[in-house]
């Protein structure tokens, strides 16, 4: 399978058209960005690590009945994905309060939430991806109806159940994560984008050490070393 036309380039990935109308290639980049890309850097090999981590987690979720766009990896930092019309909503699931949640609501950092909190953010760089509610999503016509919003919430919670249990075996707390969805050729909502330390927060259950992009956001340590540790733990649990 060959790349043809570059369809999209974001902060962390490039999406390429291929000679198959139903398949794309996602190329994971080494770029690091934070705070609406105001902070930028690179970490050589980061893209390959995120590609491998995402592939492993997509396979895990597929085994647990959650449909994804993942097909196969074709290089260290490239995977074949199913074509999907993206839903312009970022679905954030939170298990432990940190980051923007603590700033907005004053909940103490590190507070374990009584249930998984699902939030929607409008995927719009010009507006800085604002927090939205169900009515906002309908007014903006980001979904066709309320049932699709409920499906996004349901899928977010189901993904959370699978990933929380998995990462518990890896001695990691899944603090929160962001996922994105699209519609396949048959109109089914499927998980897309990526699941990696770029889009998740992982805290070591014993030490509390952060093993995600917060290391870059707040200059706390070596991102590549942390991502390698996450991948190693994932592979040990899978084995």
Which single residue is written with the structure tokens 């409920």? 150
Q: Which residues belong to CATH 3.30.200.20 in the chain?
A: 3-82
pLDDT at 42: 85
In order, the DSSP letters of 169-191 are HTTEEEEEEEEEEEE-TTS-EEE
Tens digits of residue pLDDT in 215-226: 999 989 999 999
Domain 3-82 CATH superfamily: Phosphorylase Kinase; domain 1 (3.30.200.20)
Hey, what CATH class is 85-222 in? Answer: alpha beta
CA dihedral sign of residues 32, 38, 58, 239: positive
Using CA atoms, how far apart are residues 172 and 150, in angstroms rounded to an integer?
A: 28
Tens digits of residue pLDDT in 124-154: 999 999 999 999 999 999 999 999 999 999 9
Using CA atoms, how far apart are residues 132 and 137, in angstroms rounded to an integer?
A: 7
Q: What is the mean pLDDT of the chain?
A: 96
pLDDT at 180 over 90: yes
Using CA atoms, how far apart are residues 156 and 183, in angstroms rounded to an integer?
A: 15
* 36: confidence class by pLDDT, cuts 50, 70, 90: confident
pLDDT at 102: 97
pLDDT at 37 over 80: no
Tens digits of residue pLDDT in 147-176: 999 999 999 999 999 999 999 999 999 999
The pTM (predicted TM-score) of the whole model is 0.95
Using CA atoms, how far apart are residues 154 and 19, in angstroms rounded to an integer?
A: 34
* 64: confidence class by pLDDT, cuts 50, 70, 90: very high
Q: Which residues belong to CATH 3.30.470.20 in the chain?
A: 85-222
């Amino acid at each position: 399978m060959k790349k043809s036309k570059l369809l999209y380039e974001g902060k962390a990935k490039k999406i390429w058209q291929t000679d198959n109308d139903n398949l794309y290639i996602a190329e994971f980049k080494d770029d690091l960005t934070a705070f609406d890309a105001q902070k930028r850097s690179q970490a050589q090999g980061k893209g390959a690590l995120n590609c491998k981590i995402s592939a492993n987690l997509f396979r895990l979720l597929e085994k647990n009945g959650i449909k994804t766009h993942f097909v196969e990896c074709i290089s260290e930092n490239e995977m074949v994905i199913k074509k999907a019309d993206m839903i312009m909503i970022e679905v954030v699931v939170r298990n432990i309060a940190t980051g923007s949640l603590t700033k907005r609501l004053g909940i103490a950092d590190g507070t374990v939430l009584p249930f998984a909190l699902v939030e929607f953010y409008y995927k719009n760089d010009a507006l800085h991806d604002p927090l939205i509610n169900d009515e906002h999503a309908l007014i903006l016509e980001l979904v066709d109806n309320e049932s699709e919003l409920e499906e996004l919430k349901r899928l977010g919670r189901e993904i959370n159940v699978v990933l929380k249990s998995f990462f518990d075996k890896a001695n990691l707390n899944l603090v929160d994560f962001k996922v994105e969805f699209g519609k396949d050729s048959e109109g089914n909502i499927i998980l897309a984008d990526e699941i990696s330390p770029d889009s998740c927060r992982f805290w070591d259950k014993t030490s509390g050490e952060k093993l995600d992009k917060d290391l870059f956001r707040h200059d706390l340590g070596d991102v590549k070393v942390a991502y390698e540790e996450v991948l190693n733990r994932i592979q040990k649990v899978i084995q």
